[in-house]
Amino acid sequence: MTASRDAEAPLPGVVGTGAAMAEVARLVRCVAPTQATVLVVGETGTGKELVARSVHQLSPRSDGPYVRVNCGALNESLLESELFGHVKGAFTGAIENKTGRFEAAHGGTIFLDEISSMSAKLQVKLLRVLQENEFERVGESRTIRVDTRVVAASNQLLEDEVEAGRFRDDLYFRLNVVPVYLPPLRERREDILTLAKFFLEKHAQSNRLPVPGWTRAMEEVLLRHDWPGNVRELENYMARVLVLCRGGDVDPAKVSPPGRGERRFKPAASARGRGDIAGLSRQLVRLGIETLPEGTLHERLVGGLEKELIDQVLADCDQVQVKAALRLGINRNTLHKKLNDPGRAEE
């Protein structure tokens, strides 16, 4: 491989070799070894989290911790104590000292996801960490110094947030040292088929199913769609294709076209992803009853559907098991047990 090809080699775990992703890989490989703050921007489902992880993996900090915090998932005071820690008695419920994620990421990388939802007060505190590498735990005046590299992500245009007065411009400039833009899938159509085949194989492996044969008809369907949910939507669709085309070739006639199924089945006030599951379950039940061998119906269908459901809800909840358990309405220990069941194939 030539030096320039090395520089554009795909990032770890990131599929897609089209020009747009080669440019992303080149930029990430260039910035990863430095201390620079990286801001990953792009629509939902474009792979920001994978790219953030690559920055860490390709940096001299790769042996250190990689800590992810979803800034959009916690309210201001919870997020403050999550990021910076607190001392016992700092507020009602602070029954013991807590180390924050910035300290936990010392020597490594902290990934601040959904950065645009950070409150004004926390933006000030973050700016100081970025400029001085120091902060105080909640309820304590002692200053703590850390050596933590920051990678942030946003699916909102931060410029717009700055313009609307919701995001500090000084923080924006400090974060935006090296922006990495992930184009939506519709603007890098050359990656659609590679990604689709990758996900089909990945899900076949994790479900211990044979990989269905590939067809030109499916290619046409995949290339026609605009994928507003980007790679995440494509992955979910291929998981559905696998289940519904088991034992044969991938056949668009057996699967509702991408985008359609969800709309048709989406309940009025559904949360993200739920309509998808409802659609999948109905199709599975219909198809399963017709095609599964006698005596295996319950186990194959309910077991398969449960796994599919859990995987999808986990993906929607960014792999946060507590959130997924809440959404599923099952106890988190039950979810943990199900995920660690030896009968369940590893992802």
Ligand X SMILES: Nc1ncnc2c1ncn2[C@@H]1O[C@H](COP(=O)(O)OP(=O)(O)OP(=O)(O)O)[C@@H](O)[C@H]1O
Q: Which does 46 bind (CB under 5 to 8 A by kind): ligand X, Mg ion, none?
A: ligand X
68 binds ligand X (CB under 6 A): no
Q: Which stretch binds Mg ion (CB under 5 A): 45-53, 85-93, 120-128, 296-304?
A: 45-53
Cα(214)–Cα(249) distance, integer angstroms: 6
Q: By CB under 5 A, what part of segment 76-135 binds Mg ion?
A: none
Cα(138)–Cα(249) distance, integer angstroms: 58
CB of 213 to ligand X, least distance (A): 22
316 binds ligand X (CB under 6 A): no
Q: Which stretch binds Mg ion (CB under 5 A): 43-51, 74-82, 161-169, 338-346?
A: 43-51
In the bound state with ligand X, the residue whose beta carbon lies nearer, of 50 and 146, is 50
Q: Which of 47, 184, 275, 279 binds ligand X (CB under 6 A)?
A: 47
Q: Which of 28, 42, 221, 227 binds ligand X (CB under 6 A)?
A: 42
> How buried is residue 163: exposed, middle or buried, by Cβ count under 10 Å (0-12/13-18/19+)?
exposed
Amino acid code (one letter) for 101: R
Annotate 78-112 with three-state secondary structure: HHHHHHHEECCCCCCCCCCCEECHHHHCCCCEEEE
Cα(307)–Cα(189) distance, integer angstroms: 30
CB of 47 to ligand X, least distance (A): 3
Q: Alpha carbon of 295 to those of 130, 238, 291: distances in Å?
A: 61, 27, 12
Cα(215)–Cα(195) distance, integer angstroms: 15
CB of 269 to Mg ion, least distance (A): 23
Note the residues at the interface with ligand X (CB under 6 A). Answer: 14-16, 42, 44-50, 155, 231-232, 235, 315
